[in-house]
Structure 1
Amino acid sequence: MDAHSIGDIFSEALFIVVTMVSVIILPSLFVGLVVATFQAATQINEQTLSFLPRLLVTLLMMIVAGPFLVNKMIDYANEIFINIPTLIG
């Protein structure tokens, strides 16, 4: 096992983590921006008005994208387990 293969494993893991976080957090960020713009335009300073839509969008994205993200993690774990003999030897 050389440094190049370790770097490949970590870079692929990092890419999967960034993909998972982006899929869940970016829609929530967009909704938060829209709600904040609405609050600034109407001068409503209610904390639950900004929190609840972001929470709902985050939960919805976890429900919608959850199977995709779990399959991506399972595929990565299977790839690592299958490649253990080649990585060690």
Structure 2
Amino acid sequence: MSADQAIQMMAQLFWNSFLIAGPVLIATLVVGLLVSVFQVVTQLQEMSLSYVPKLAVAVIVTVVLAPWMLTRLTGFATSLFNSIPTLG
């Protein structure tokens, strides 16, 4: 395995992990920002108010995008397994 192949595999790994985790992270970030603004406006400082909506949104986004995430992940794993004979 050459250094170029290793760097290419790492780049694919990072890109796929970014694509798979990105939607959940972005959705929870947006919800967290909206809840924080709501807490500042209403001066309501309840700790569970920040966790419950983010958790609910993370679950919903994961359930909705799970087929796409799994397809992306299995495609990447398949390409890695198919490249094993060419590494020697």
TM-score range normalised by the length of the shorter chain: over 0.9
1:80 equivalenced with 2:62 (yes/no)? no
Q: Structure 2 length normalisation: TM-score?
A: 0.94
What are the equivalent positions in structure 2 for 1:1-89 lying under 5 Å apart? 1-88=1-88
Q: Which runs of 5+ in 2 are unaligned?
A: none
Q: Distance in 1 between matches of 2:78 and 2:19?
A: 18
AA aligned opposite 2:20: M
Identity of aligned residues (%): 28
Structure 1, gaps ≥5 residues long: none
> Could you list the per-position Cα deviations for residues 34-69 of structure 1 after superposition, in whole angstroms to 9, with x for gaps in the alignment?
010011001000111111110000000110111111
Secondary structure of 1:11 counterpart: helix
Provide the alpha-carbon RMSD of the alignment: 0.9
Structure 2: distance between partners of 1:21 and 1:80? 20
Normalising by the residue count of structure 1, what TM-score does the alignment of the two structures yield?
0.93
CA offset digits 1:12-54 (Å, max 9, x no partner)? 0011111222111110110010010011001000111111110
Q: Secondary structure at the match of 1:44?
A: coil
